[in-house]
């Protein structure tokens, strides 16, 4: 089930002043949570996470989540104390192509 984010949550995710934490699990099922400033809401309403290090633990866990249908969690907190948690499944990873280049150049 896909839930459409309201404007308030989108603004919170797209703010550079917000703190975003992405939680994944490793191959043994242990959680891995890390602050990730490069989480935004894309124009199509989906959450977009830009990983700068392809070999990072988070990246490996996200790819594994796609392969093995595992869930992840993203928490966002604003300076005003407002916070939200979104749980779901990653659906794709991009390592090349126009969308990738748009965000990484």
pLDDT tens digits along 15-37:
999 999 999 999 999 999 999 99
For residue 69, what are the contacts with CB-CB under 8 A and spacing of at least 6? Answer: 89
Helices and strands (H and E) in the chain: how many: 3, 6
Report if residue 79 sits inside a domain: yes
Tens-digit pLDDT profile for residues 39-93:
999 888 889 888 877 788 998 999 999 999 999 999 999 998 999 999 999 988 7
Q: What is the pLDDT of residue 72?
A: 96
**Domain count across the chain:** 1
d(CA 12, CA 101): 25
Q: How does residue 99 score in pLDDT terms, banded at 50, 70 and 90?
A: confident
First to last CA, the chain: 33
Report if residue 31 sits inside a domain: yes
Report if residue 34 sits inside a domain: yes
CATH number for the domain spanning 88: value is 2.30.110.10
Report if residue 18 sits inside a domain: yes
Report if residue 1 sits inside a domain: no
Q: Domain range for residue 91?
A: 7-104
Contact 45, 21 (CB under 8 A): no
Q: How does residue 1 score in pLDDT terms, banded at 50, 70 and 90?
A: low
pTM of the model: 0.87
Report if residue 2 sits inside a domain: no
CB atoms within 10 A of CB 58: 18
């Amino acid at each position: 089930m896909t839930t459409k984010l309201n404007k308030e949550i989108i603004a919170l995710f797209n703010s550079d002043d917000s703190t975003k934490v992405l939680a994944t699990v490793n191959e043994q099922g242990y959680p891995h949570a890390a602050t990730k400033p490069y989480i935004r809401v894309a124009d199509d309403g989906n959450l977009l996470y830009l990983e700068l290090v392809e070999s990072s633990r988070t990246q490996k866990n996200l790819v594994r989540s796609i392969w093995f249908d595992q869930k992840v969690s993203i928490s966002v907190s604003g300076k005003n104390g407002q916070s939200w948690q979104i749980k779901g499944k990653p659906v794709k990873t991009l390592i090349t192509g126009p969308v990738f280049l748009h965000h990484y150049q």
